[in-house]
A = this chain, B = another copy of it.
């Protein structure tokens, strides 16, 4: 294939600097989901760790490089999961971590960022404004800016999930990947194309935050003016050109799903898999729900990428319909 920015050998090396607590995560068939989905479903579970998302795979790579170089401080913009992960990885290495986030971000994520000792700066706007502000902080203070999906370490960290999937047996047909900035999709996608090219790589994004999917379809950057989705972890408006280039080489398809499907996916994962997931982590199930024929009879892996939710919002998402049904 044409070359992405990623390198499989470097991804293997990344595994050596990531705290093992984030590696070799559970991968297992979840047969209880299958009657309603019409296909075989395996879960790759990225939530059973100290930050409840896959993002620490990347921040471990970043923070270990910074510590090796004697850096003392780092800043990132985050919808919540990257910030929490960077706070965790930085704390263990004596780094001062600053996280810039939207004041509309998920409260539970912001609380955990603070609890992990990071400095938290809120902006009165969306995630793209937080990105701008983080860049300004980095320039002002002369410290490293971590840009999710653009910085190759964030992609390499996410890509280690791909290595674990490739090692899995029995093999599977398709991997469904939540698409936001693109680190997860390009990282895992790169490994699939390099080591398991027979596996179909499908990215899933909410209809309410479709910028990267539209960009992938039109093969050029498409931006949007706003986002409207509960899937806060993937709600970007301004795709990064270099990431789009990689996504064009690594994704076989990119699909958009409705909010009601995301909620239905969260509810299915709760009721039939016993998993609390954040909306972004239900995108794969949502994609199956919206196109059962496409996936019928196939073996699908869906990466459950995070579980950081506000408890009361989550109760509403999974609650009402279930209580009516009883």
Q: How far is the CA of A168 from the CA of B34 in the complex (A)?
A: 35
Q: How far is the CA of A24 from the CA of B26 in the complex (A)?
A: 9
Query: In the complex the two chains form, is B323's CB within 8 Å of A47's CB?
Result: no
Q: How far is the CA of A278 from the CA of B275 in the complex (A)?
A: 12
Taking a contact as CB atoms closer than 8 A, the residue among B24, B29, B32, B307 that contacts A115 in the complex is B32
Across-interface contacts of A326 in B (CB, < 8 A):
312, 315
Q: A274-B307, A308-B274, A311-B322 are in contact. Are A29 and B45 (CB under 8 A)?
A: no
Query: In the complex the two chains form, is A50's CB within 8 Å of B30's CB?
Result: yes
Q: Which of A24, A29, A311, A318 has the most CB of B within 10 A?
A: A311
Tell me how many chains of this kind the complex includes: 2
Query: In the complex the two chains form, is A50's CB within 8 Å of B29's CB?
Result: yes
The chain B residue sitting closest to A48, CB to CB, is B26
Q: How far is the CA of A32 from the CA of B110 in the complex (A)?
A: 12
Across-interface contacts of A325 in B (CB, < 8 A):
312
Secondary structure class of chain A's binding surface, majority of residues:
mixed
The chain B residue sitting closest to A32, CB to CB, is B112
Q: How far is the CA of A116 from the CA of B32 in the complex (A)?
A: 10
Across-interface contacts of A307 in B (CB, < 8 A):
274
**Any B CB within 8 A of the CB of A252:** no
Whole-angstrom distance between the Cβ of A307 and the nearest chain B Cβ: 4
Q: How far is the CA of A43 from the CA of B275 in the complex (A)?
A: 15
Query: In the complex the two chains form, is B311's CB within 8 Å of A319's CB?
Result: no
Whole-angstrom distance between the Cβ of A253 and the nearest chain B Cβ: 28
Across-interface contacts of A71 in B (CB, < 8 A):
none
Chain A residues in the interface with B (C-beta under 8 A): 21, 24-32, 43, 45, 47-50, 52, 112, 115-116, 270-271, 274-276, 307-309, 311-312, 315, 318-319, 322-323, 325-326
Contacts A31-B116, A315-B323 known; list 13 others, CB within 8 Å. A26-B48, A26-B49, A28-B48, A28-B50, A31-B50, A32-B112, A45-B48, A52-B274, A274-B307, A274-B308, A311-B322, A319-B319, A319-B323
